[in-house]
Homo-oligomer: A and B are copies of this chain.
Amino acid sequence: MDLGIQERLNDFIRRKGLRRTSQRDTIVKAAFSKDEHFTADELFDRVRKLDSETSRATVYRTLGLLVEADLLREIDLGENQTTYDPNFLDKPSHNHLLCIDCGRVVEFEDSHLDMLNDCITRRLGFKPVRQTIKIEANCEQLRLKGRCPNLIATRLTGKRLRKKR
């Protein structure tokens, strides 16, 4: 876990006149312990392993705080629960590719894509702030060979796309 995260949160908390608490520390530790995406509920489970007292409500409240502080980002993976991505600090403009076959998520960055998007935005008369790209795709290797070697390359492990409820 990036050692700067706790500090960043502390800065944010100080600037906003909020308070540092053990619950918030625990939640931050849990949230950034892996680079996997997670839901509020999954985070709650992780938090509970570190501290069996912290409540679900506090997890939700702290998630809001972390998003506001831009330490965490909500992403749309086509699920019903909000999913949080802790990797935007390392890769500020990464995007997501979802494998339709196995549901894994591959993160990727592409500066050309970023630039093209910025051009389009400006051409439309706007000032770019943020762009979100989600690509859904089939695994070509899976189709040809029956397995998904590409997925080894992803930093995200075990993350599966859930069925719509």
A residues neighboring B (CB under 8 Å): 76, 97, 99-100, 106, 108, 110, 112-113, 116-117, 120-122, 124-141, 143, 149-150, 153
Partner of A134, one of B113, B116, B131: B131
Query: Across the interface, do B116 and A140 meet the contact criterion of CB distance under 8 Å?
Result: no
Query: Across the interface, do A137 and B116 meet the contact criterion of CB distance under 8 Å?
Result: no
Which one of A120, A139, A153 has the highest number of Cβ atoms from chain B below 10 Å of its Cβ?
A120
Chain B contacts for A113, CB-based, 8 A: 113, 116-117, 120
Q: How far is the CB of A107 from chain B (nearest CB, A)?
A: 10
Q: Return 11 A-B CB contacts under 8 Å, by A number.
A: A106-B126, A112-B116, A117-B133, A126-B140, A129-B136, A130-B136, A131-B133, A131-B136, A132-B132, A132-B133, A132-B135
